[in-house]
Amino acid sequence: MKKILGQEFFRRRPDLVAMDLLGKVILNKRRRVAGMIIEVEPYFGPEDPASRARKGGDLAKTMQGEPCTALVYGVHKQWLLNIVAHEDEKLGAVLIRGIIPMDPMTFRPLDKPIWGPGRVTKYLDVDKRYHKAFLCSCDQELQLRDGLRIDPSCIIRSRRVGVREDLPEPFNFRISCIEEIMKKLQCTNE
């Protein structure tokens, strides 16, 4: 069984956390489904034109809250799952945009990748009930666990998807060598 990520993993800049989340596993114990994270996007505080923090309210407060907390909100009748990640006294979160479905017992791949944050939450059965859930605890239904270390040469950077106004740096991170990763997962006995 893969160990649960510690809160300190998320107590860093959202872009650093985002890159390191690639290859990690998200598990819904209640639904008995899991997925290896293969695409993410970090969002920052009010200085980020695409961040939910710009609007204030509950989402901004949650983004300033405890690292490793779920930030779940709806867009276009779909739920989006973000994980709060930031340095002390800052705001930030990482949107989960893609996963490889995995067997929650063997952590072997089950199917082709799922792309799109709404499809990810649908597969993982994540909705508003998980908003503000702490994900770095074995007592929680929804958990973040260790996984593969992804070589930086396998990470593609591009602009964030569906963002009208963005920061100058490309903040969409995606694993490019999916087939390689899936073969590696098939051979793993963990």
> How is residue 79 written in tokens?
């739920």
pTM for the whole thing? 0.93
pLDDT band at residue 32, thresholds of 50, 70 and 90?
very high
136-138-139 Cα angle (round to 5) = 105
Q: 126 in helix, strand or coil?
A: coil
Dump pLDDT digits (tens) for 136-162.
999 999 999 999 999 999 999 999 998
Per residue in 78-92, pLDDT tens? 999 999 999 999 999
3 state SS of 162: coil
Please name every residue paired with 54 in a beta bridge, in sequence order, or none if there are none: none
Give the CATH class of 7-187: alpha beta
The domain limits of the chain are 7-187
pLDDT in tens, 95-143: 999 999 999 888 888 889 999 999 999 999 999 999 999 999 999 999 9
